[in-house]
Structure 1
Amino acid sequence: METLFGDLEDIKAGESALFADVILPVPIPKMFTYKIPRNLKEEIGIGFRVIVQFGKKKILTGIIGKVHQKPPSAYEAKPILDVLESHASVNPIQIRFWAWMAEYYCCHIGEVMNAALPSGLKLSSESKIQLNPTFDADTSPYPLDDREALLLQALSNKEEMSYEDCEVVLGIKSIHGIIKSLVIKEAILVFEEVKEKYSPKVESRIRFRTDLAKDKEALEAVFNEVSNKPKQEEILLKYLQEVPVYRNPELNQNGLEKKVLSDAGLSLSSLKTLIKNGILEEFKIIVSRFEDEQGHNEDIVLSPEQEQAQNTIKEAFEEKNTVLLHGITGSGKTELYIKLIQEALEGGSQVLLLLPEIALTTHIVGRLRQVFGSKMGVYHSKYSDNERVEVWNGVLSGKFSFVVGVRSSIFLPFDSLGLVIVDEEHEVSYKQFDPAPRFQARDAAIMLAWLHQAKTLLGSATPSFESFYNARLKKYGYVTLEKRFGDAQLPEFQLADILVDKKKNLLKLDFTRLMREKIQEALKNQEQVLIFQNRRGYAPYISCEECAWIPECEHCDVSLTYHQFGEEMRCHYCGFREKVPQSCRACGSSKLSAVGLGTERIEESLSLLFPEARIARMDLDTTRSKYGYQRLLEDFGSGNVDILVGTQMITKGLDFDKVTVVGIMDADRILYFPDFRAGERAFQQLTQVAGRAGRREKKGTVIIQTRRPEQQIFQQVMSGDYKNFYIQEMGERQRFFYPPFVKMLKITTRHKDFKTAEKAARYLHNLMAEIQVKKILLGPEKGLIGKIKNQFIFESIVKLDKSGNAQAQFKHELQLLIEELQVQKDFRAVRFIVDVDPY
């Protein structure tokens, strides 16, 4: 095993002291150096998890980044307390990847580590107290008050107590003052108990005593012995039914899951007796949390167009590391992916398939699981800590050679990646906005593949402008799929003018006549409908009809969203919620009305317009549970739901035979947004949601409701004219210096005091202006939302020249400036957030 600069074995062979640079999960700009104790010298290696003391009390899990013989000059190195494993959890390629990510995205490697490791692999330290063995209450010069005496009495009966235990004993919430007093009086000792969060899943099993299983005569004797004990006999017969040891005694070794007997309603007390008498024995084994499923190596039959695309991709990979697959919705990109994954796995490489959201994951996973079985792992944020650790360990051990996951799966411990596929590569969900590292998973995946000398395939019906730009520059290979798979036809688009229907009194509960007619027609034909509105809740806000007062969040500069279910108003930024007011707090009027459309309100309107229809809603509020997405999609896929209302979750990857109508409620809201990408995002969302319609032989219909039907973008979406739309938008971006022609950074300044936040923002802005690189500097301006969670926000935008080393130099100097500012008294509590590629 090698360090980042030398051979570990050579260093270990030396006589001088050994030191390790340890990556810690804290926002500090460098690794900390610790001394390696002699007894741990042979157990240490790059990527091993270790326990170290950080500061006076904290105990943290760190990852060994380097091993060397140079002691730190600025402080005395503390010893590593312990090594947590016999094999590294992290490999050198991962550490290089973390270092690149920290440098590129202007954060610290510890923040990357914190995001990368499942929390089940990070230790928690919990403060505990114990009696000081030298303390004697009778001879102590310090008197004890009643609460201190009560706590010491409780401790006298226990070896240790947690802070939580102390709170229960004393019946108070804050016990820190009492703990501090007892420490000063030398009555107690405080220590940190370290706990490993990950715990494997253990299964209890039952089997015959080994000698019995191998001896048929002994088994016969056992049955004679229990013949007058029907409950015990029933258990033994059930065991033989499940584990036929008469035919094959070797089967007894694995035994039978104890749960099988309890589920069959058999007597557990009789089972205990059989174990006590030595007839059966109970043992435990560690099992996977994921069901083993055999893949059947399905022979995918490609259409001539798909086969041509596959061959072109392979040819492009001979010259390019990255290829963009531009395939219209429903063109069968998944079948192409499966073929390419099969070939990579047969060649002995690992494969990573990135999907933007869990809603997609649940639908595609079943399809992939049929083909790849238990060699495929799934990794996403709805998994428990233990499940994520099992996938991590499965990749380490080689159990999972193929992983399907969301953006966090780029951190898994791959050691021989051959292919990375990024599906729906244009999706904004690939961008991590908070906390650090604020990375773009598509871009990071390309870098990860480069580190492994692997190939990257980017797939989309509406590619991001950056990817399409790179393809036109010949930096990426470019492959198209322009025909839908099978007999599926592209949907027919129709525009519904909201204002015209309103004037003619044809608008009912926000639905135009055309939209209502098409939904009714689909229901009559026993077909399904998708309704898209990218805003959850009942309505964006409530307003007073007399004075126009709008309830706002107490902690953020935003109006509260009205949620009819629960009769409350919520802030979607900080989580603040309150009951709906009965009257206006400004003028006292009781005339309060909901303004605008949310998915909850649309669901209610549909139930009034189509009372016979079965309606479901898919948004963040209905899919919070672990399997919320899956249950909704299963209901819809099995035909138990006629109309599915949803946010952008329904725009991606869903493939249902019976969906013939897609309704887009408020297309204008997507268009008019203060973001240079608004047009690009609108084109992508409208095209993607439209692609859910008519994915089999029947042609689908897409209804776009708008107040501005003359907008050119609608014609471009309807004709699928991506290239002309791209050329038009890129002309604007080049003229006003926007990506991909420049590199953008957003620097956000936050503080609870408005003037301090503004002063810090201006101070940093002026310092940035002095950095000697080619750039455009905008701001600082109050954020679009000026306050979130009681923190005032100011933003500066930097547009950097893409040539030369302007980016690296600016980022490096910016981080030094921020570090200098944060040691100044005035700005110590100010948060400076750097977001690279922010939009």
Structure 2
Amino acid sequence: MQTELNTTGSTEVITYFVDVILPVPIPKLFTYRVPLAMNDLIQVGARVIVQFGSKKVLTAVVAHIHKNPPTNYKAKYLLELLDEVPMVTPQQIEMFQWMAGYYMCYIGEVLNVALPSGLKISSQSKIQLNPNVDLVHADLSHNEQRLIEALQEAQSLSYTEASEVLGVRNIYQLIKSLVAKEIVLVFEEIRERYQPKKLKKIRLCKEYIEKQTLDTLSKSLEKKPKQQDVLLNYLRHVPVYKDWMLNEGGLAKSAFTKNETLSNSALKTLTKNGIFEEFEIIVSRFDEYIPDPNVKIELSERQQEVSGEIMLNFEEKDVVLLHGVTGSGKTEIYIDLIQKVFESGSQVLFLLPEIALTTQIVSRLKRIFGNQMGVYHSKFSDNERVEVWQGVVSGRFNFVVGVRSAVFLPFDNLGLIIVDEEHESSYKQYDPAPRYHARDMTLVIARQQHCKVLLGSATPSTESFYNAKMGRYGLVQLKERYGSARLPDIQLVDLTAERKKMKKRSIRFSSTLVQAIKERLHVQEQVILFQNRRGYSPYMSCRACAHIPKCENCAVSLTYHMYSNELRCHYCGHIEAPPRKCPACGSMEIATVGYGTEKIEDELKVMFTQARVQRMDLDTTRAKNSYQQIIQDFENQQIEILVGTQMLSKGLDFDNVSLVGIFDADRIINFPDFRSHERAFQIMTQVSGRAGRKDKPGLVLIQTADTQQDVLHKIIAGDYEGMYRKEIEDRQYFKYPPFTRLIKLTTKHIDKGASARAAQMLADKLTTKLGRDRVLGPEAPLVEKIRNKYLKTILIKLEREKIDLKAVKHFIQEQREEVLLSKEFKKLQIVIDVDPI
């Protein structure tokens, strides 16, 4: 409201102020003044454009509307209001604030990650001529003169455009010189990134839709056959003779331009002469899906019982853990529950850990739910993600399938959140802040919106199973596979014995695995081979002096990729050519050591020349639809052997796979981390679950140098609860989650000594109040240097009970800020990771 009655009964103008969330790492909200013209329009959750500092223009979100001007600075006016209907809900703003507090970051960092880039305005630096400058007497270089001529013609140019005009890479010095001479002005052009998709269409002008005028037009074009063909093409698709109202919708322009028998110039002439008119409509970027009435989900008797048990548990618990073995038909149960929630009129969010999983599941769900369902993941373009976001706001999508970032979508009426494969580490965000865990955030959202959460996994995380055992979550178990399918037969292959038999120091393919692959190919069955390391070889080494090429930015060896013939750092992306001779001793004896997915793929093609082999890892799935294509080809049996990393363990379902081979099991088990045995059980059980579907029994071969390892025998027996009991016993003894909370602090500095000193100073400060038992380190992490910065880590262990977590976090933040303010550590970073995994 712009006015209100005062005590005397007259009206007075009200000045409103808004506190906004800015997508920058600052600790407070900023207050801006609302222009009078926006008083009736401004709402909490709306996006606004603001000036921040002297030059920056940012998209902010309104968090509060009030009448109190700031006391310590003069409030600037909002520049623009972007939304008549808010794009962010009050529940989301509340969630952003909770997330910033819990994960010890700034609310602006949360907003920056939460909003799709397409919903954030960008400002682009451009240059224009100074209208008051005297160019006649200006002292200009050749390139400066060329740039001015280009500006006289184009009015304004972006830095990129200026660079292209001159064919010069570094344009900044040239622009700086012209600015100093006051010949050009630099300004910021604001543009909204999101662009709706538009479809160009053609229709007859109104005066030609009457039968009589249309007949006259057709006769007049008899001597112009090309134009007549265009007209007849339109009338075939849009029969205005039968119903003149059909003309309003017109016909896609592509129906003319992509038809090789029609003349584009004839269409242009007809449009120019006012017979046709061209117009645009906004269309969805997503294909239209109509539910297939023939696709029905029929649950087995046991699945019906499980679905009923889940609903019964939901009467008392907000969170239920569904522990179902691989291939038990959890997806069908999910669909049954989604349909029940839909009938109640509520929204559903279905989280998956990886994009790889969405390909198979989405195609199944689309046939059932059609256009009610949206899909949200990082392989989508900015514009596609914005359309899903807007679809949730408008009510077009009441059901979304997505990866971890889907927790930020603007739901306001959630009835159910499903977290499939809840144990997966992919649900954890590592960089940038907030370093949240999507599974844990669903519990926060559920409390906000009073909805239910279903966690599903064949190998639940120790923390979730503990919560279920302690009665905090409901627990429902499904211990048999769907239908007639049997669990695979898992066998260990002793590599130590194979090496002795074959008299080789190292071996990749055991004779047992090779023979099993041959047998499967002979009967036209498919094979999955799992190696949790991509690339051709982990590293190269000189046989003469043992020199290993390392990344110049990180303390790791470079991985050799044969396909692209390059050495690549998997931490910072640094790439260099493989050395022809050793840079240390000059020897020509450079060899690859170890093996990754690329090397396995290469050797398979040599061993099985007739087999169709494909690799699925980060390197082969960078393109938008590459996951989908590989999975589709494998489903259609165009690929016989699929080699891959952890992507293969993510709940994919292939009917014809009867053999799974697991390489390098010992490295997974012996990784130096308190979760290594749990993760080894999870990864190997999950990838084993790809073998054997329907009436085909599966075989899993795990290659190991130590067949006596306890965790391997628990995998063979499918003894999840045995693994859990051992884990929970160790966790309690050594004070690890779920019995404690962990907070990891990492110092980063280009100087190794400075990073170590800062970490020690921080550890000493923290110890004063928290005590040495709670503060571990500082220690050097496994990779001590990443992107030219040296790392040190401090681990804080906090007991779950009888501790003021909020006060402890505040104390940690204070000590962090004190260290950062020290003159010695100007370029220091201290990264906080709450609940690291």
TM-score range relative to shorter protein: over 0.9
Tell me the SS of whatever aligns to 1:795: strand
Report what 1:457 is aligned to: 454
Match of 1:478 among 468, 475, 478: 475
Return the offset for 1:575: 0.8
Contact (CA 8 Å) 2:542, 2:591: kept in 1 or not? yes
Q: Provide the C-alpha distance between the structure 1 equivalents of 2:508 and 2:114, rounded to a whole number of angstroms.
A: 45
The correspondence of residues 255-404 of structure 1 with structure 2, limited to 5 A, is: 255-265=250-260, 266-296=262-292, 298-404=295-401
Report what 1:798 is aligned to: 796
Q: Provide the C-alpha distance between the structure 2 equivalents of 1:820 and 1:81, rounded to a whole number of angstroms.
A: 36
Report what 2:245 is aligned to: 250
Q: Provide the C-alpha distance between the structure 2 equivalents of 1:340 and 1:488, rounded to a whole number of angstroms.
A: 23
Tell me the SS of whatever aligns to 1:813: helix
Q: What does the per-residue CA deviation read over 1:638-689, in whole Å, with 9 as the maximum and x for residues that have no partner?
A: 0111100000001112111110000001111110101100000000001000
Return the offset for 1:74: 2.4
Tell me the SS of whatever aligns to 2:278: strand
Q: What does the per-residue CA deviation read over 1:431-480, in whole Å, with 9 as the maximum and x for residues that have no partner?
A: 11111111111101121122111110000000001110100011001101
Q: What does the per-residue CA deviation read over 1:120-162, in whole Å, with 9 as the maximum and x for residues that have no partner?
A: 11111111223333434579xx966666565445444443232
Return the offset for 1:550: 1.1
RMSD: 2.0
Report what 1:226 is aligned to: 221
Which residue type is aligned with residue 515 of structure 1?
Answer: L
The correspondence of residues 480-499 of structure 1 with structure 2, limited to 5 A, is: 480-499=477-496
Q: Provide the C-alpha distance between the structure 2 equivalents of 1:444 and 1:249, rounded to a whole number of angstroms.
A: 54
What TM-score, normalized by structure 1, do the two folds share? 0.95
* 2:37 is equivalent to residue 39 of structure 1: yes
Q: Provide the C-alpha distance between the structure 2 equivalents of 1:270 and 1:168, rounded to a whole number of angstroms.
A: 36
Contact (CA 8 Å) 2:327, 2:481: kept in 1 or not? yes
Q: Provide the C-alpha distance between the structure 2 equivalents of 1:733 and 1:82, rounded to a whole number of angstroms.
A: 54
Report what 1:4 is aligned to: none
Return the offset for 1:198: 0.7
Structure 2 unmatched ranges of 5 or more: 2-10
Which residue type is aligned with residue 492 of structure 1?
Answer: D
Report what 1:6 is aligned to: none
* 2:121 is equivalent to residue 123 of structure 1: yes
Return the offset for 1:180: 4.3
Q: Provide the C-alpha distance between the structure 2 equivalents of 1:159 and 1:773, rounded to a whole number of angstroms.
A: 65
Report what 1:724 is aligned to: 722
C-alpha spacing 1:382/1:15, structure 2 compared with 1 (3 Å): same
Contact (CA 8 Å) 1:497, 1:708: kept in 2 or not? yes
Report what 1:212 is aligned to: 208
Tell me the SS of whatever aligns to 2:693: coil
Report what 1:442 is aligned to: 439
Q: What does the per-residue CA deviation read over 1:522-560, in whole Å, with 9 as the maximum and x for residues that have no partner?
A: 101100000000000011111222222211111100011
C-alpha spacing 1:193/1:436, structure 2 compared with 1 (3 Å): same
Q: Provide the C-alpha distance between the structure 1 equivalents of 2:264 and 2:175, rounded to a whole number of angstroms.
A: 46
How many pairs were matched up? 825
Contact (CA 8 Å) 1:773, 1:810: kept in 2 or not? no
Which residue type is aligned with residue 232 of structure 1?
Answer: Q
Tell me the SS of whatever aligns to 2:62: strand
Q: What does the per-residue CA deviation read over 1:186-225, in whole Å, with 9 as the maximum and x for residues that have no partner?
A: 4443221101111111101112223533x22332222222
Q: Provide the C-alpha distance between the structure 1 equivalents of 2:751 and 2:273, rounded to a whole number of angstroms.
A: 73
Q: Provide the C-alpha distance between the structure 1 equivalents of 2:165 and 2:656, rounded to a whole number of angstroms.
A: 61
Report what 1:5 is aligned to: none
Report what 1:643 is aligned to: 641
C-alpha spacing 1:405/1:171, structure 2 compared with 1 (3 Å): same
Tell me the SS of whatever aligns to 1:504: helix
Return the offset for 1:429: 0.6
Which residue type is aligned with residue 279 of structure 2?
Answer: F
Q: What does the per-residue CA deviation read over 1:90-136, in whole Å, with 9 as the maximum and x for residues that have no partner?
A: 11111111111111111111111111111011111111223333434
Report what 1:625 is aligned to: 623
Match of 2:410 among 384, 409, 413: 413
Q: What does the per-residue CA deviation read over 1:401-428, in whole Å, with 9 as the maximum and x for residues that have no partner?
A: 1100110111111111111000000001
Report what 1:704 is aligned to: 702
Q: Provide the C-alpha distance between the structure 1 equivalents of 2:180 and 2:496, rounded to a whole number of angstroms.
A: 75
Q: Provide the C-alpha distance between the structure 2 equivalents of 1:158 and 1:240, rounded to a whole number of angstroms.
A: 43
C-alpha spacing 1:169/1:217, structure 2 compared with 1 (3 Å): closer
Report the more deviating stretch, 590-599 or 551-560: 590-599
Report what 1:468 is aligned to: 465
* 2:187 is equivalent to residue 191 of structure 1: yes
Match of 1:424 among 399, 421, 426: 421
Which residue type is aligned with residue 217 of structure 2?
Answer: V
Q: Provide the C-alpha distance between the structure 2 equivalents of 1:669 and 1:189, rounded to a whole number of angstroms.
A: 60
Report what 2:160 is aligned to: 164
The correspondence of residues 499-518 of structure 1 with structure 2, limited to 5 A, is: 499-505=496-502, 510-518=508-516
Report what 2:133 is aligned to: 135
Report what 1:8 is aligned to: none
Report what 1:822 is aligned to: 820
Which residue type is aligned with residue 267 of structure 1?
Answer: S
Q: What does the per-residue CA deviation read over 1:294-338, in whole Å, with 9 as the maximum and x for residues that have no partner?
A: 013543110011000000000111111110000000000110111
Q: Provide the C-alpha distance between the structure 2 equivalents of 1:482 and 1:230, rounded to a whole number of angstroms.
A: 72
Contact (CA 8 Å) 1:380, 1:406: kept in 2 or not? yes
Return the offset for 1:805: 4.6
The percent of aligned pairs where both chains have the same amino acid is 52
Which residue type is aligned with residue 83 of structure 1?
Answer: L
The correspondence of residues 668-747 of structure 1 with structure 2, limited to 5 A, is: 668-747=666-745
Tell me the SS of whatever aligns to 1:76: coil
Which residue type is aligned with residue 476 of structure 2?
Answer: V
Contact (CA 8 Å) 1:506, 1:513: kept in 2 or not? no
Q: Provide the C-alpha distance between the structure 2 equivalents of 1:78 and 1:775, rounded to a whole number of angstroms.
A: 49
Q: Provide the C-alpha distance between the structure 2 equivalents of 1:271 and 1:345, rounded to a whole number of angstroms.
A: 48
Tell me the SS of whatever aligns to 1:330: coil
Report what 1:584 is aligned to: 582
Return the offset for 1:174: 3.8
Q: Provide the C-alpha distance between the structure 1 equivalents of 2:12 and 2:408, rounded to a whole number of angstroms.
A: 34
Match of 2:787 among 786, 789, 811: 789
Return the offset for 1:14: 7.3
Return the offset for 1:241: 2.3
Contact (CA 8 Å) 1:22, 1:31: kept in 2 or not? yes
Which residue type is aligned with residue 223 of structure 2?
Answer: N
Tell me the SS of whatever aligns to 1:444: helix
